[in-house]
């Protein structure tokens, strides 16, 4: 077993001969075996024991055992007591989650203060098998079938290559005692039910079922590496922009699995599996017009979904994801000529100019010239509103500003932030940065113009 664990450590580059490590010691068989094993392999270790005060005298018994064991082995021991129930109530989490959070927060602080390279915990092969079955019962993807990772950040698991039976045999050979947590013997939580009831049942079908599941988890780990590489390349093909996130729908639909890629891309943004499935169905309908599982999916461009912190928009051939935010733009009155700083930081410069031989009309989108005879102050700068209409420069008929922006390929997100310059009579003088109103254009009769320039 020592050789087996040593090979596993080197194979996965878990520990360094020059490093110093903590060993999470509960007093149970697994953690005691881990402590002895790493000591035999001559790694520099110190132990840490957490008393969660959940099992009365039994918790104190475990702490005393760990203290005596470390004294006999001359291994330094760090001890801490937690009021776990109070923490759980205060943070409204389960006892199990509270204990986990308290434990790993303490480990993290010890690693930092004591200059440790990580903390070794005693998860073994059977724990990984239970995790696979637990994930399978709850529903999982490829990653959930890989079991427990040998290393996750500062958390190191050197015993994942050995079974609980091997650990018990190892301790028996060393005449080493350990304590038993009585709560592990009661099938009152799902993991205990798997350990005490499901796995024994599966062993009646295949005595080597734990080995088989563990091997499958290893195969899935290797398969996941291939899948992750392919996924990374696919995402690079699909992604047109990172911030805000913009995806090409046509490229996405050419990939082998639209929904899987959407899940990988959108899950970190907080979108649920149900939302991602609906988005995928919407894209399929957009592609070929087939019936979807949800009639609401039958809208494409302009359809939005909300997660807790992000909003997703389907806009023509693009999926756009940006942070949910209320516009902070504040309307501003322009009482006279001058330079004004808007609430979004953009500057607008208003200036009267006489039309003479040196005057030229601006042809850029960031500067307009208006016939001063038709202008009166105060003007107003605000965001577009539903029903806004204007006569785009070069046209005779009025057009909804929303329709004009659609023609300019503006997304719903961009439309929300579009500013307009408004006359006191409520005419739209300028869709700022896009097009002025034709009714206020400079003509041959114009003697004085009002120039409005956007300074970015």
Rounded Cα–Cα distance for residues 286 and 295 (Å):
13
**Phi then psi for 411, rounded to 5 degrees?**
-80, 170
- Residue 296: its pLDDT value, please? 44
Contacts of 131 (CB under 8 A, 6+ apart): 147, 148
Q: Mean pLDDT throughout 256-265? A: 92
Nearest to residue 73, comparing CAs of 37, 113, 124, 19? Answer: 37
Residue-level length of the chain:
456
Residue 67 pLDDT exceeds 70 = yes
282-318 confidence digits (pLDDT tens) = 998 866 654 444 444 444 678 899 998 999 999 889 9
Residue 186 pLDDT grade (very low, low, confident, very high; cuts 50, 70, 90) = low
Contacts of 283 (CB under 8 A, 6+ apart): 249, 252, 253, 258, 300, 314
**Phi then psi for 431, rounded to 5 degrees?**
-80, 100
Question: Are 265 and 235 within 8 A, CB to CB?
Answer: yes
- Token pair in block for residue 449: 């113009």
Rounded Cα–Cα distance for residues 76 and 105 (Å):
20
Q: Which helix (H) or strand (E) holds 106?
A: helix 95-114
- Residue 139: its pLDDT value, please? 84
Question: Residue 81's CB: how many other CB atoms inside 10 A?
Answer: 13
- Residue 141: its pLDDT value, please? 81
Lowest mean pLDDT, pick from 91-95, 108-112, 142-146, 187-191: 187-191
DSSP code of 196?
Answer: I
Residue 183 pLDDT exceeds 90 = no
Please tell me the number of Cα atoms within 13 Å of 259 on its side-chain side.
12
Q: Which helix (H) or strand (E) holds 9?
A: helix 2-11
Residue 122 pLDDT exceeds 70 = yes
- Residue 2: its pLDDT value, please? 94
Residue 190 pLDDT exceeds 60 = yes
- Give the chain's domains with CATH numbers: 2-217 (3.40.50.620), 244-323 (3.30.465), 332-455 (3.50.40.10)
* Rounded percentage of the chain residues whose pLDDT exceeds 70: 95
**Phi then psi for 238, rounded to 5 degrees?**
-80, -35
* Rounded percentage of the chain residues whose pLDDT exceeds 90: 79
Quote the Cα angle for 224-229-234, to 5°.
Answer: 120
9-54 confidence digits (pLDDT tens) = 999 999 999 999 999 999 999 999 999 999 999 999 999 999 999 9
Residue 215 pLDDT exceeds 60 = yes
338-397 confidence digits (pLDDT tens) = 999 999 899 999 999 999 888 888 889 999 999 999 999 999 999 999 999 999 999 989
- Which is it for strands 304-306 and 245-248: parallel, antiparallel or unpaired? unpaired
Contacts of 332 (CB under 8 A, 6+ apart): 340, 342, 343, 380, 381, 382
129-170 confidence digits (pLDDT tens) = 999 999 999 888 888 899 999 999 999 999 999 999 999 999
DSSP code of 378?
Answer: P
- Residue 211: its pLDDT value, please? 93
Contacts of 91 (CB under 8 A, 6+ apart): 98, 101
Quote the Cα angle for 97-99-103, to 5°.
Answer: 120
- Residue 216: its pLDDT value, please? 94
Q: Mean pLDDT throughout 315-329? A: 86
Secondary structure tally for the chain: helices H, strands E: 15, 22
């Amino acid at each position: 077993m020592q050789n087996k664990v040593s090979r596993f450590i080197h194979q996965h580059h878990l520990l360094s001969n020059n490093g110093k490590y903590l060993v999470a010691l509960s007093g149970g068989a697994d953690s005691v075996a881990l402590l002895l094993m790493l000591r035999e392999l001559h790694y520099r270790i110190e132990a840490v024991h957490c008393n969660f005060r959940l099992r009365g005298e039994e918790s104190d018994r475990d702490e005393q055992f760990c203290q005596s064991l470390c004294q006999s082995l001359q291994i330094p021991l760090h001890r801490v007591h937690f009021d776990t129930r109070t923490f759980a109530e205060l943070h409204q989490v389960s006892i199990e989650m509270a204990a986990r959070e308290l434990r790993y927060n303490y480990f993290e602080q010890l690693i930092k203060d004591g200059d440790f390279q990580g903390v070794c915990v005693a998860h073994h092969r059977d724990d990984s098998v239970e995790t696979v079955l637990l994930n399978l019962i709850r529903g999982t993807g490829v990653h959930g079938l890989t079991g427990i990772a040998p290393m996750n950040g500062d958390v190191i698991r050197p015993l994942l290559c050995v079974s609980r039976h091997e650990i018990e045999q190892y301790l028996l050979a060393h005449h080493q005692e350990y304590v038993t947590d009585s709560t592990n013997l009661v099938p009152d939580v799902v993991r205990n039910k798997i350990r005490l009831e499901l796995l024994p049942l599966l062993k009646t079908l295949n005595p080597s079922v734990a080995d088989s599941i563990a091997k499958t988890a290893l195969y899935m780990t290797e398969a996941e590496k291939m899948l992750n590489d392919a996924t990374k390349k696919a995402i690079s093909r699909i992604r047109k922009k990172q911030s805000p996130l913009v995806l090409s729908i046509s490229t996405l639909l050419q990939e082998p699995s639209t929904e899987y890629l959407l899940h990988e891309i959108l899950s970190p943004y907080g979108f649920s599996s149900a939302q991602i499935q609906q988005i995928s169905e919407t894209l399929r309908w957009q592609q070929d017009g087939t019936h979807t599982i949800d009639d609401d999916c039958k809208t494409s461009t302009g359809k939005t979904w909300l997660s807790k912190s992000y909003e997703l928009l389907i806009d023509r051939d693009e999926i756009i994801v940006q942070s949910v935010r209320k516009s902070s733009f504040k309307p501003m009155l322009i009482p006279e000529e001058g330079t004004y700083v808007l609430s979004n930081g953009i500057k607008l410069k208003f200036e009267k100019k006489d039309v003479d031989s040196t005057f030229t009309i601006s042809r850029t989108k960031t500067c307009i010239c208006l016939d001063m005879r038709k202008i009166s102050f105060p003007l107003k700068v605000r965001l577009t509103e539903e029903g806004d209409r204007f006569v785009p420069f070069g046209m005779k008929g009025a057009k909804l500003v929303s329709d004009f922006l659609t023609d300019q390929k503006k997304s719903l997100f961009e439309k929300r932030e579009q500013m307009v310059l408004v006359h006191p009579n409520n005419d739209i003088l300028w869709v700022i940065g896009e097009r002025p109103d034709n009714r206020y254009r400079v003509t041959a009769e114009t003697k004085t113009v009002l120039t409005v320039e956007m300074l970015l």
